[in-house]
């Protein structure tokens, strides 16, 4: 009898422990499957975005291909790719358009503006001195002077033509379509962080947030160091682009109008919800280059930095591989479908579909064909790609 009691107590204890393990597993399950944090509300809410949304696993932290933030290790160079205290003029340009714009600013705009200002100032002093009452007791009754009227009509025309000729060439070069084989970078503005996608390299995604200062971070959070970059410009994830390869930049936004701007690239392209804007550029020199959102987009507009690491093509290919991406066929034109945010095929719609499928299961309707869905902003079929337009 005593042995039977002991055996019964042991069986009961085993059942109790098994039930506790099941309850603990159920309690831990929601935390393990929680969705990534979305864009935060402005008032008193953290604006930290997910570091990477639906991206493949990166290489191990100890991999020589990656730095702490997942980008190839690259030191920040003073006076390059960032603003510098006490320095006048534009940042050092590392693109052909930027070099041309820098030359135009220094060789055409500044001399023209200086000459016009000095001429107007000299005329003001001459009029005040020559035609003051003490020296001009009897004012002249002349009302017209044909020669002076011709001069002040033709001179502004000549000045405008002088400025317009290189300006039109620069404007045309800034919106020149990217050639075949360009690397496509899609920058998506959010309140208040940037999300980047590489459609031609497997479509992996990287999210970049501003790094806070040491006195602003919570326990366990990473704080900015001098190796990351200047204050308000350093990010937890740098994006990587190859040197000497054309870059096709496509911008859009999920909420309000933002603007992707990197002064050293001579790039400032608005990111507008429901619209895809495009430009192209080629980086000439390796380095780390910083920028910011340049369109007032809300309370934390000043905290949307951009950090770009420009590396040789071989190193870029290694980074793409480490991110789980692929390299396209050299010289082949891009055929990646780049949907607008909210359109069928976009990352947001895919996430919604996955969530609905996980909740209710797939729904099949074999009798009624699904209606064709168009994008609200452009009325183009959602399946049509926008790359290269």
71-80, 91-100, 311-320, range with the lowest pLDDT: 71-80
Q: What are phi and psi of 241, to 5 degrees?
A: -135, 150
> d(Cα 313, Cα 337) in Å, to the nearest integer?
24
Residue 320: strand, helix, or coil: helix
CB 184 within 8 A of CB 199: yes
What pLDDT does residue 27 have?
A: 38
Q: What percent of the chain has pLDDT over 70?
A: 67
351 pLDDT band, cuts 50/70/90, is low
378 pLDDT more than 50:
no
Class of 45-94+181-328+337-352 per CATH?
Answer: mainly beta
Domain locations in the chain?
45-94+181-328+337-352, 96-135+146-174
User: How does strand 239-242 pair with strand 305-311?
Assistant: parallel
Asked if pLDDT for residue 337 goes beyond 80, the answer is no
For the stretch 21-48, pLDDT in tens is 443 444 333 333 333 333 333 344 344 4
CB of 69 within 8 A of CB of 236? Answer: yes
pLDDT of residue 153: 92
Whole-Å CA distances, 167 to 44, 103, 172, 365: 45, 12, 9, 57
**Tens-place pLDDT, residues 201-241:** 888 999 999 999 988 888 888 888 888 889 999 998 999 99
Q: Distance between CA atoms of 305 and 269, rounded to whole angstroms?
A: 14
Residue 173 or 37, more confident: 173
Instruction: Specify the pLDDT at position 8.
Output: 54
Q: Is the pLDDT of residue 358 over 70?
A: no
Under 8 Å between Cβ of 260 and 268: yes
The alpha carbon of residue 262 and the mean position of all alpha carbons in its chain are separated, in whole angstroms, by 9
**Nearest CA among 33, 70, 65 for reference residue 51:** 70
For residue 223, which phi and psi values (nearest 5 degrees)? -105, 155
DSSP string, 63-75: -TT--TTSSPP-P
pLDDT at 170 over 80: yes
């Amino acid at each position: 009898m005593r042995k039977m009691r002991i055996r019964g107590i042991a069986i009961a204890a085993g059942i109790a422990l098994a039930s506790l393990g099941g309850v603990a597993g159920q309690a831990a399950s929601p935390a393990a499957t929680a969705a990534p944090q979305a864009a935060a509300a402005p008032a008193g809410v953290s604006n930290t975005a997910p570091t990477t949304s639906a991206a493949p696993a990166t290489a191990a932290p100890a991999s020589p291909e990656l730095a702490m933030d997942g980008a190839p290790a690259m030191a920040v160079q003073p006076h390059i790719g960032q603003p510098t205290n006490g320095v006048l003029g534009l940042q050092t340009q590392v693109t052909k358009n930027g070099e041309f714009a820098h030359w135009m600013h220094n060789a055409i705009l500044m001399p023209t503006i200086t000459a016009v200002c000095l001429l107007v100032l000299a005329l003001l002093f001459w009029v005040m001195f020559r035609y003051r009452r003490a020296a001009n007791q009897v004012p002249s009754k002349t009302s017209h002077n044909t020669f002076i009227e011709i001069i002040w009509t033709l001179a502004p025309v000549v000045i405008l033509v002088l400025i317009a000729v290189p300006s039109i060439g620069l404007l045309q070069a800034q919106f020149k379509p990217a050639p075949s084989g360009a690397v496509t970078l899609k920058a998506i503005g959010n309140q208040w962080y940037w999300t980047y996608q590489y459609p031609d390299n497997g479509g992996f995604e990287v999210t970049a947030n501003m790094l806070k200062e040491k006195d602003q971070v919570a326990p366990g959070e990473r704080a900015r160091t001098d190796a990351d970059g200047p204050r308000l410009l350093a990010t937890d994830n740098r994006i990587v682009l190859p040197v000497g390869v054309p870059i096709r930049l496509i911008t859009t936004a999920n909420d309000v109008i933002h603007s992707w701007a990197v002064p050293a690239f001579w790039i400032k392209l608005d990111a507008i919800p429901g619209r895809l804007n495009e430009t192209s550029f080629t980086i000439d020199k390796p380095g780390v280059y910083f920028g910011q959102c340049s369109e007032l987009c809300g309370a934390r507009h000043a905290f949307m930095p951009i950090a770009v690491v420009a590396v040789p093509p071989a190193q870029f290919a290694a980074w793409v591989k480490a991110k789980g991406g692929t390299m396209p066929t050299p010289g082949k034109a891009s055929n990646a479908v780049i949907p607008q945010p909210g359109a069928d095929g976009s990352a947001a719609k895919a996430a919604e579909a996955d969530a609905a499928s996980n909740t209710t299961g797939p729904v099949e309707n074999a009798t009624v064909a699904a209606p064709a869905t168009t994008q609200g902003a452009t009325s183009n079929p959602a399946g049509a790609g926008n790359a290269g337009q």
